[in-house]
Structures are given as structure tokens and as C-alpha cells.
Amino acid sequence: MLKDNIVLNYGAVDALIEKKSDETINQYLSGERDEFNYVKYDLYETPISVAIEEALTLPFLSDKKVVHIKNAYLFTGEKVNNQISQNTDDLLHFIEHYDGETLVIFDVFNEKLDERKKLVKTVKKNAKLNKIEQMTEQEIKQWIKSYLNEQFKDIKEDALVTFIELTGIQFNIIKAELDKLILFIGDEAIINKQDVKEIVSRSLEQNVFLLTEYIQKGQKEKAIKLLKDLIQMKEEPIKLLALITSNYRLYYQCKILGSKHYSEQQIAKTIGVHPYRVKLALRIIRSLSIERLLKTIDICADTDYELKSSYMDKVLILELFILKI
């Protein structure tokens, strides 16, 4: 029998799972959260048996109680190397027989549950499961406006477009940059484009998109300057090349599927990336041939080998890579 008081939230974006869990908890506790009615555990640090015991203990000095279990990796295929023994049989028994009033909420920071596990089959049958999908670009824009409105602020349309161009669509980055903006404008009610340009940092993912855009437009000097800026910001050359390579693979996939007349949404679904990344990729690949993309991916592979095996300066290897493409 489905139990409303056991909830499992899972998905690819940690911040969105936390947001969903917080909303559920606040609704259940009517916004009044304290040490008597809210207990949090992390399964990387605590045995599940401790959380179960807490869930079975009646609330103290409170009518309601929440037991919030984060990093609930037991429902996934994740292997964790620590000294904590996790008794999944206890958890199975608890999920099957629980009939208490305490809200038990699991956060699973993974977009897939391990369907082969008896534990997953049991939780699907007995608990409320929420798969938290990534927000679309439009949903993110609406959320930003709503978040600002709650604090009696607003943002101009051109400022919002610039903001997304800088942050991309990663929720945790967006939230952090928004909070910076709110502090920056102080008593002002409206965020304008200049405010965004002055205070919002371009995310690493967006920087790498810009870098590849410079390369494709033949603006090699700009590309090398941006590369040096990223190195200055302590980004590792090997990591930067991996991100650049990932972008070129994305461009290649978009080019192939685009030639088969797939829509932006269909491409995103087929290759399993956010539609916003596809939108940016399609903007870049218009003038690129499949042959050139394949050649670039080969150069990426050669450069990766050089970075890992050569005694040459790694930044110089990346600069030569940019000039080679």
C-alpha cells in the first residue's frame, strides 16, 4: 500500500532535489522547523538503522516530525567506500511495514534508481517517488522572476537574457549569482543589464562554449586570452580539454541529427543533454562540416595524449591546440 509519509526524491540536479524536499518539509511542518521536529542524516556518514530508529520514535515537544535522509545511495548502483555498515534488510522491513505519522524523506542524488534491487521495487510499491527533472530554459526564467518578486525585486528582459548567457542553466549557479545580484543592487528594485555585466560571473561551462565559439569564428587571439584567464582561475588544462572535447562531440551529434531534421527538443532527448546546450550548439555548428568536426575531435584526442605524456608546458600545448584547429 502506498504510504504518503515516505517520500523519495531523485534526479540529476542536487539543488533541485533539495529544493523539492525543502518545499515538502516546509509544507508538512507549516514552515516551523526546529531541533525537535526536524532531524537530518547523511548516509555517507550514518547507518540507515539510526535514521529508522529516529523515524520510529514519537515526536518530542512537537505534533509532527520529519526525518530527512540525504545521499540515500542505497537505492542506486553507487558503490561507497567507507567503514559504515548499512543494513538494507532493516530498510526493506521499515518501508514495507511503516505506518507512523513522521514524514520520512529520502534524497537520492542520482537520475537513476537501480531497478534490479529488491529495495527499489519495494520503495516503488510503498512510497511516493518524485523524479526531479531539470528545468527548461523558460521554467528557469520564470523561477528567477518569481524568486526576485518574493524579495520585491524584478529584472529587465535584456538583463535576464544576459544573466542566462553568463550562468547557463545550472540551478545552483543561478541561485548563487542571483543572491550576489540582490546584495549588489541593495535598495534598488530593478536589475538591469549593466548590473548583470558588473557582478555576474560567467560559469565554466559557458566560458568553454564561448571559447569554442571564438575558435570556430577564427578569433584565435580571443580564444587564447580566455584560455589564459581560465588557467589563471586555477582551472586544470586536462579538465579544460575534456570540456572542449565534450562540446565538439555534442556539436558532431547535433550536426548529424540536425541533418536528419530532428528538432531541438528531439536532439536533446536523443543524446540526453539539456535543450539549452543543444540551442547553443546549433548556433555554433551552422558553418561547420561533419568532416571538420571529426578532424577536430581527432585533434582533441591527440592533444589529450600529449597533455598526459609530454613534458612540454601544458598551457603551451593547449595554445598550440587552439591554433591547430
For the stretch 224-248, pLDDT in tens is: 999 999 999 999 999 999 999 999 9
CA distance 152 to 145: 10
Q: Reduced to 3 states, what is the DSSP secondary structure of residue 66?
A: strand
Residues 259 and 289 in one domain: yes
Task: Return all residues near 13 (Cβ < 8 A) that are at least 6 apart.
Answer: 132, 134, 170, 171, 172
Q: Cβ–Cβ contacts within 10 Å for residue 21, how many?
A: 22
Residues 241 and 299 in one domain: yes
Q: What would the pLDDT profile of 162-192 be if each residue is shown by its tens digit?
A: 999 999 998 889 999 999 999 999 999 999 9
Residues 12 and 117 in one domain: yes
Residues 180 and 271 in one domain: no
Final residue of a domain: which of 180, 199, 218?
Answer: 199
Final residue of a domain: which of 179, 199, 219?
Answer: 199
Task: Return all residues near 265 (Cβ < 8 A) that are at least 6 apart.
Answer: 275
Kindly tell me the burial class for residue 33, based on how many C-beta atoms sit within 10 Å of its own C-beta (0-12, 13-18, 19 or more).
middle
Structural domain span for residue 190: 137-199
Residues 298 and 183 in one domain: no
Residue 2: pLDDT band (50, 70, 90) is low
CB hemisphere CA count around 64 (13 angstroms) = 13
CA distance 29 to 35: 12
CB hemisphere CA count around 250 (13 angstroms) = 25
Residues 244 and 161 in one domain: no
- Kindly tell me if the per-residue pLDDT of 3 is higher than 80: no
Domains of the chain: total: 3
User: How far from the centroid of its chain's Cα atoms is residue 291's Cα?
Assistant: 32
Residues 224 and 299 in one domain: yes
Final residue of a domain: which of 199, 226, 246?
Answer: 199
Residues 174 and 126 in one domain: no
- The domain that holds 13 is classified in CATH as 3.40.50.300
Residues 211 and 118 in one domain: no
According to the model, what pLDDT value does residue 213 have?
A: 94
According to the model, what pLDDT value does residue 301 have?
A: 97
CA distance 57 to 307: 56
Residues 28 and 117 in one domain: yes
Q: What is the pTM of this model?
A: 0.77
Q: Cβ–Cβ contacts within 10 Å for residue 120, how many?
A: 20
According to the model, what pLDDT value does residue 324 have?
A: 92
Which one-letter amino acid corresponds to residue 120?
V
CA distance 104 to 6: 5
- Kindly tell me if the per-residue pLDDT of 32 is higher than 90: no
Residues 48 and 88 in one domain: yes
Residue spans of alpha helices (H) in the chain: 14-28, 48-56, 88-97, 118-126, 137-150, 157-167, 171-185, 193-199, 204-216, 220-232, 237-259, 264-271, 275-285, 290-309, 314-324
Least confident of 82-91, 98-107, 189-198: 82-91
Residues 220 and 187 in one domain: no
Q: Which has the closest alpha carbon to 189: 161, 158, 149, 143?
A: 149
- The domain that holds 157 is classified in CATH as 1.10.8.60
Kindly tell me the burial class for residue 311, based on how many C-beta atoms sit within 10 Å of its own C-beta (0-12, 13-18, 19 or more).
exposed
- The domain that holds 285 is classified in CATH as 1.20.272.10
Side by side, the strands of the sheet bearing 3-11 are 38-42, 66-70, 103-108, 3-11, 127-132
Q: Which has the closest alpha carbon to 274: 67, 158, 151, 135?
A: 135
CA distance 8 to 190: 38
